[in-house]
A = this chain, B = another copy of it.
């Protein structure tokens, strides 16, 4: 038995973010370790949902496009997200899904690299990222190809025939976190454009897109940004590329003057060109309000608390003997995002047994129990209780007794 250096209570008492939890509508008797999949409901988002439906849509109807400035919401929300990922205003817009935004950026980036025909990415990237490249290649023909590189040594595998390097900063399964700054620098030395997927980064720790001189980025808002299930995604186009940037999903909202109804498409020379169809106002309004949770909080403070929560989880797990049952398959804390992956052949059943005890984490095939640490609403006591329940499940092997139906879950 390892003694505790600090108790959960002591750690909670000195946690500068301990009051933030009051901004969330969390269910009772639940410890939520799945905010890296779907963030919980911020109270401000709940209130805004009511307002945008009942008052804006219900009472002001079509006039709301002007009187509630719905028409500028994608840019407004984009700039709010930009502030959380190190992007000056005018470089981020909220729209569509990560998948669709990847298609836009990949097309535009290839267009900027007429002499290069290779998109490089990691084999262990999130499936939809790879699938979108494969879909784009069916349109572009055999001159173009995808090249898989190993995430363990990306810089060593770069070469100057690569047009675009598409990477997800944090591996969705293991939590392995890539060094955005050094990889971007090395890529750009070879004339490669960089496209970063921030699905597991935005809202979890400081991201410095401008400082790292990143070319393009995309991300979702329903994980650490708590925007709601299937909330609109975002796209970042560095200011220096906006004049040249041309993406092919050229819907009317990306036109430089959407309401002029000109016969031919004239692309807007800004990040707004990524808008395509009419924006989803209800969900984007909810996202807008959800982002207000971050108003007075630094990503640095969030990152610091995340590391403490993870260290506490590791210490508690060790103390409870979890290492006898499960392996940690995540890299060390300094090389990972705000999540930990444990492996066990019965990870699915264990995850279900843990959920039955009020601790929600998630399962990733084939054998991963994935645990997300969202510092805005998790306490050290939550971690203590969660570990204790997991240890109990493992010691008593209760997961073997239950029958769990295998169903689908969404990351």
Contact = CB atoms under 8 A, between A and B. Distances in A.
Contact of A130 (B25, B61, B263, B282): B263
Q: How many subunits of this chain does the assembly comprise?
A: 2
Interface in A68-105: 70-71, 96-100, 103
Chain B CB within 10 A, most for which of A64, A281, A282, A408: A282
A54 B60 CA distance: 23
Interface in A47-68: 49-50, 53-54, 57-66
Contacts of A284: 230
A127 B252 contact: yes
Contact of A282 (B34, B50, B229, B365): B229
Contact of A365 (B25, B70, B259): B259
A139 interface: yes
A71 B41 contact: no
A41 B53 contact: yes
Interface string A245-261: 01111111101001111
B229 A64 contact: yes
Nearest to A409: B65
29 contacts: A25-B58, A27-B61, A32-B61, A38-B61, A40-B61, A41-B57, A46-B53, A46-B58, A49-B50, A62-B360, A71-B410, A100-B277, A107-B139, A111-B138, A127-B262, A127-B265, A128-B251, A130-B265, A131-B250, A131-B251, A131-B255, A132-B249, A135-B249, A135-B265, A138-B250, A222-B278, A229-B282, A232-B280, A261-B365
